[in-house]
């Protein structure tokens, strides 16, 4: 079954430079920087202090609210201090600085045992304990997503292996190298929600992954692999749900409003590790790529590793770098220092030279409508940008500025190089601030 | 020809009579008081008072539902006239003005990264908390300039600068600044700490030449303890400040601005009768001398606040510059008639 294509969208050059490079573990750094905020929600509360010895996988900060997540030490060694350090989000946030003793002395993991018979509650507790958050980039705590309020029953779960961002290949490699982990993770989520039906969405530009996953799901009749057309942002939650179920999430709603739940394949593999092995989330696959590195690679990286080491592992920069982006080119965040650490949501690291990331002055809008055609949410980016530019935030709100998913399709297609997403993000921030004020 | 003239004249007459009747029948009764007050309110419709327009504010004033102080823009003269018309109480206000608490022009600051986004401070603040090395200083993209209805604030060399003459303290720039570095200060407060950085001195030094490095020299020299330190930043307590400018002279980075002055050193001449008034009033303890004997000013201790100059009744204190040259002659003796004024009223 292939659902209907979502409206809008664009097709940027795919540039999957590292698609054929097997994942290799990056040597564990001598020092890791682990932020207290690696998820959306309240920062975790430290349970160890500067000077304390920690083991690999030991809980070092616990979730401090319903929407929050546990954090575990990615190395064994000594916590040097907790202090503000550069965070991928672009500001200084409190981080553990942990000196690695090189022993990788791990705490004893306690697996849940026979999960197919376990209570959903116990499974959610195991996922919560392991500090798992959405690893596609949004970093929403997974245990919260798996505990929808009773008025929103979930009937469809979708594994997101679309990876529609250009350059990124971490999910692709994960599906090729560990398809069983992904599948088992999906089945655990289905068990939690009491479902016998699940989808795995993969874009058609990954035929090897589609074939392999199809082979693996043959024994599990409830799971179906969807080969989706290549179109950005196919991997966005709302667009993926539409493709799989033809359901449209109402404005301001969440997937649970239409009975759906989407989990990134990386998150599913982590869920499986948490449940089957009792292993907390302390490492992830990161694609280090871009025209400006010598050898694009996929690395298995401990959380808290400075991105400088990742760039070195990819052979270093071959030209003076113009931009280093955490995430993909469409939605990633440009970094102003190479000292920021890898966090739970870091799917890729993109290093671009001046040729790929030129500085272009924005010109006047020529009313061509490319942004309107490209918008997957059916908005009018040019109009929104104009309203925000004129400080008319009430009108921008009425024109649906808050529905923007910031996918970047409009700015990508704009021949005048207008920074549409930036204007709209500015508008969203102002509208939210005004709502708070009341 | 004749038909045309008659027709047009006829149409004209009918219309004139119609309009005449309409103007009487449908006349809108406007309170003459409102009209008078509306003439006096600023008429810029800035919205700072919370009303939709200046006319609406005028109506509320006449109705007595709005206070005369709610408009921050109006001059004291206009306020006085309105108070007279409406027969209400009015006290003179100490008119505030907007002050930008940053001196980081392009030449003084380091940048965190090259910013290529939309030209708005509020939007720039969303990208890694702004592109200036200092997380607290002026971004210089002019959101305040665009929002100001009085053309009173402009970005010059990457820094917002207020034109005090034009500023009406409506507070629009204060609200729009994403870094909250614009404050309204009363115009008789002449000494300002023009820095907002809450970083430690080492960090400030790394990103800005003119920032507060939290050395606390100003606290030490202040004779009246009018400077407090909070979050690595000096703050002047306006109620205590005597505008002497000693802190500004002591500041090694020049982050305190003294708009008052010039300030001179006090020097006591032979007219001194040894009344000890100046020594008692001196906040810095810089004046010494026995009763009924000539007093002396310790130049090193003098904070140049001019308090002694103001209190001396014997034409005995002059103000001199560093070279000892007299800049301001002693204040003439008060005439006997007025000398009866009580001391307390002066301070």
The domain over range A115-277 is classified in CATH as 1.20.910.10 = no
- Between chains, do A426 and B112 touch, taking CB under 8 Å as contact? no
Assess A393–B contact: CB distance below 8 Å, yes or no. no
| Residue of chain A minimizing CA distance to B121 | A426
- Between chains, do B117 and A391 touch, taking CB under 8 Å as contact? no
Cα of A67 to nearest chain B Cα, Å: 23
Give B228's strand partners.
B235
Distance CA A319, CA A297 (A): 17
Nearest to B129 among A90, A362, A430 (CB): A90
Tell me what pLDDT residue A63 has.
Answer: 94
Assess A406–B contact: CB distance below 8 Å, yes or no. no
Cα of A93 to nearest chain B Cα, Å: 12
Residues of B in contact with A391 (CB under 8 A): 146-147
Res. B343: pLDDT tops 80: no
Nearest to A419 among B112, B118, B122 (CB): B118
Which of B118, B199, B231 to mutate to probe the A interface, most A CBs <10 Å? Answer: B118
Distance CA A298, CA B345 (A): 80
- Between chains, do B128 and A425 touch, taking CB under 8 Å as contact? no
Residues of A in contact with B135 (CB under 8 A): 91
Residues of A in contact with B114 (CB under 8 A): 359
Domain covering B94-183: architecture: 2-Layer Sandwich (3.30)
Assess A120–B contact: CB distance below 8 Å, yes or no. no
Cα of B295 to nearest chain A Cα, Å: 56
Q: Where are the domains of chain B?
A: 32-86, 94-183, 189-261, 265-335
Tell me what pLDDT residue B211 has.
Answer: 94
Which of A85, A88, A90, A410 to mutate to probe the B interface, most B CBs <10 Å? Answer: A90
Distance CA A51, CA A45 (A): 17
Question: Tell me: the pLDDT tens digits for B119-166?
Answer: 999 999 999 999 999 999 999 999 999 999 999 999 999 999 999 888
- Between chains, do B128 and A359 touch, taking CB under 8 Å as contact? no
Tell me what pLDDT residue B335 has.
Answer: 60
- The reply to whether B189-261 shares the fold of B94-183 is yes
Domain covering B189-261: architecture: 2-Layer Sandwich (3.30)
Cα of A391 to nearest chain B Cα, Å: 9
Distance CA A11, CA A231 (A): 5
Residues of B in contact with A91 (CB under 8 A): 128-129, 135
- Own/partner long-range contacts of B330-338 (Cβ < 8 Å, ≥24 apart): B330/B269, B330/B271
Residues of B in contact with A406 (CB under 8 A): none
On whether the CB atoms of residues B247 and B229 are closer than 8 A, the answer is: no
Q: Where are the domains of chain A?
A: 115-277, 370-437
Tell me what pLDDT residue B346 has.
Answer: 40
Question: Tell me: the pLDDT tens digits for B27-39?
Answer: 888 888 888 888 8
Residues of B in contact with A389 (CB under 8 A): 118
Residues of B at the A interface (Cβ-Cβ below 8 Å)? 112-114, 116-118, 120, 122-123, 126-129, 135, 146-147
Q: HEC string of chain B?
A: CHHHHHHHHHHHHHHHHHHHHHHHHCCCCCCHHHHHHHHHCCCCCCCCCCCCCHHHHHHHHHHCCCCCCCCCCCCHHHHHHHHHHHCCCCCCCCCEEEEECCCCCCCCECECCCCCCCCCHHHHCCCCCCCECCCCCCCCCCHHHHHCCCCCEEEECCEEEECCCCCCCCCHHHHHCCCCCEEEEECCCCEEECCCCCCCHHHHHHHECCCCCCCCHHHHHCCCCCEEEECCEEEECCCCCCCCCHHHHHCCCCCEEECCCCCCEEEECCCCCCCCHHHHHCCCCCEECCCCCCCEECCCCCCCCCHHHHHCCCCCEEEECCCCCEEECCCCCCCCCHHHCCHHHHC
Residues of B in contact with A89 (CB under 8 A): 128
**Reported confidence tier of residue B344, pLDDT bands at 50, 70, 90:** very low
Which of A422, A423, A430, A434 to mutate to probe the B interface, most B CBs <10 Å? Answer: A422
Distance CA B207, CA B195 (A): 13
Tell me what pLDDT residue A138 has.
Answer: 87
Residues of B in contact with A386 (CB under 8 A): none
Question: Tell me: the pLDDT tens digits for B303-336?
Answer: 888 888 888 888 888 888 888 788 887 878 766 5
Query: A398: number of CA atoms within 13 Å, CB side?
Result: 5
Cα of A308 to nearest chain B Cα, Å: 17
The domain over range B265-335 is classified in CATH as 3.10.250.10 = no
Domain covering B32-86: architecture: Orthogonal Bundle (1.10)
Q: How many helices (H) and strands (E) does chain A have?
A: 13, 17
The mean pLDDT values, 10 residues at a time, for chain A of 438 residues are 75 94 96 95 94 96 94 96 93 94 92 89 94 93 94 94 96 97 96 93 96 94 93 94 92 93 96 95 96 96 96 92 94 93 96 92 94 96 96 95 96 96 96 89
Assess A386–B contact: CB distance below 8 Å, yes or no. no
Both structure tokens of A325? 């982006």
Tell me what pLDDT residue B336 has.
Answer: 52
- Between chains, do A426 and B135 touch, taking CB under 8 Å as contact? no
Which of A364, A426, A429, A437 to mutate to probe the B interface, most B CBs <10 Å? Answer: A426
Closest CA to A16 of A234, A226, A298, A228: A298
On whether the CB atoms of residues A370 and A413 are closer than 8 A, the answer is: yes
Pairing type for strands B159-162 and A348-352 reads unpaired
On whether the CB atoms of residues A49 and A109 are closer than 8 A, the answer is: no
The count of CB pairs under 8 A between chains A and B is 39
Kindly report whether the global pTM for this prediction surpasses the value 0.95.
no
């Amino acid at each position: 079954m292939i659902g209907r294509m979502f409206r809008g969208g664009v097709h940027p050059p795919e540039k999957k430079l590292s698609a054929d490079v097997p994942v290799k573990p990056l040597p564990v750094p001598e020092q890791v920087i682990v932020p207290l905020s690696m998820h959306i929600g309240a920062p975790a509360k430290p349970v160890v202090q500067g000077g304390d010895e920690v083991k690999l996988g030991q809980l070092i900060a616990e979730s401090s609210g319903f929407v929050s997540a546990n954090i575990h030490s990615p190395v064994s060694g000594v916590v040097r201090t907790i202090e503000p350090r550069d965070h991928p989000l672009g500001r200084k946030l409190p981080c553990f600085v942990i000196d690695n003793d090189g022993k990788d002395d791990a705490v004893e993991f306690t697996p849940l045992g026979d999960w197919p018979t376990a209570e959903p509650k116990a499974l959610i507790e195991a996922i919560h304990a392991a500090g798992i958050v959405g690893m596609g980039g949004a970093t929403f705590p997974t245990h919260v997503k798996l505990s929808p309020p009773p008025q929103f029953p979930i009937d469809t779960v979708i594994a997101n292996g679309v990876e529609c961002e250009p350059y990124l290949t971490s999910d692709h490699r994960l599906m090729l190298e560990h398809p069983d982990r992904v599948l088992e993770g999906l089945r655990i989520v289905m068990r939690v929600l009491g479902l016998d039906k699940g989808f795995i969405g993969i874009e058609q530009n990954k035929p090897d992954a589609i074939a392999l996953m199809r082979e693996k799901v043959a024994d599990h009749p409830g799971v179906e692999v969807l080969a989706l057309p290549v179109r950005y942002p196919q991997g966005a939650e709302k667009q993926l749900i539409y493709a799989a179920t033809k359901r449209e999430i109402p404005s301001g709603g969440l997937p649970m409003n239409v009975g759906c739940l989407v989990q990134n394949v990386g998150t599913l593999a982590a869920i499986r590790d948490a449940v089957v092995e009792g292993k907390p989330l302390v490492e992830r696959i990161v694609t280090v790529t871009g025209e400006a590195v010598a050898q694009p690679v996929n690395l298995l990286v401990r959380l808290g590793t400075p991105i400088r080491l990742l760039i070195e592992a990819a052979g270093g920069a071959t030209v003076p770098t113009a931009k280093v982006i955490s995430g993909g080119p469409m939605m990633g965040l440009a970094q102003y220092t190479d000292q920021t650490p890898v966090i739970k949501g870091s799917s890729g690291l993109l290093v671009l030279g001046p040729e790929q990331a030129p500085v272009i002055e924005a010109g006047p809008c020529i009313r061509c409508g490319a942004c309107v055609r490209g918008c997957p949410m059916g908005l009018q980016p040019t109009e929104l940008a104009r309203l925000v530019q004129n400080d008319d935030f009430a009108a921008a709100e009425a024109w649906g500025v808050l529905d923007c998913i910031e996918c970047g399709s409009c700015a990508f297609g704009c021949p005048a190089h207008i920074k549409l997403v930036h204007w709209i993000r500015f508008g969203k921030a102002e509208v939210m601030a005004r709502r708070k004020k009341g | 020809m004749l038909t045309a003239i008659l027709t047009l004249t006829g149409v004209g007459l009918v219309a004139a009579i119609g309009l005449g009747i309409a103007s009487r029948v449908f006349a809108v009764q406007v309170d003459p008081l409102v009209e008078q007050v509306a003439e006096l309110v600023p008429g810029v419709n800035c919205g700072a008072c919370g009303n939709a327009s200046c006319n609406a504010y005028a109506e509320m004033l006449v109705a007595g539902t709005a206070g005369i102080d709610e408009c921050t823009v109006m001059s004291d003269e206009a306020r006085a006239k309105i108070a007279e018309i409406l027969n209400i109480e009015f006290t003179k206000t100490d008119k505030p003005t907007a002050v930008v608490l940053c001196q980081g022009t392009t030449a003084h600051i380091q940048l965190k990264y090259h910013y290529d986004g939309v030209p708005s401070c509020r939007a720039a603040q969303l990208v890694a908390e702004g592109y200036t090395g200092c997380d607290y200083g002026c971004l210089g993209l002019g959101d305040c300039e665009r929002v100001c209805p009085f053309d009173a604030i402009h970005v010059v060399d990457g820094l917002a600068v207020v034109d005090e003459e034009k500023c009406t303290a409506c507070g629009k720039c204060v609200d729009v600044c994403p870094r909250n570095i614009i404050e309204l200060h009363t115009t008789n407060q002449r000494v300002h700490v023009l820095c907002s950085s809450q970083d430690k001195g080492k960090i400030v030094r790394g990103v800005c030449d003119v920032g507060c490095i939290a050395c606390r020299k100003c606290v030490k020299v202040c004779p009246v303890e009018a400077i407090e330190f909070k979050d690595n930043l000096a703050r002047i307590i306006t109620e205590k400040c005597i505008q002497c400018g000693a802190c500004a002279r002591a500041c090694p980075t020049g982050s305190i601005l003294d708009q008052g002055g010039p300030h001179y050193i006090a020097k006591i001449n032979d007219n001194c009768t040894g009344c000890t008034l100046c020594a008692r009033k001196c906040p810095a303890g810089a004046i010494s001398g026995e009763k009924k004997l000539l007093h002396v000013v310790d130049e090193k201790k003098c904070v140049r606040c001019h308090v002694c100059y103001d209190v001396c009744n014997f034409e005995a204190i002059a103000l001199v510059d560093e070279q000892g040259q007299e800049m301001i002659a002693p204040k003439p003796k008060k005439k006997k008639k007025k000398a009866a004024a009580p001391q307390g009223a002066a301070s």
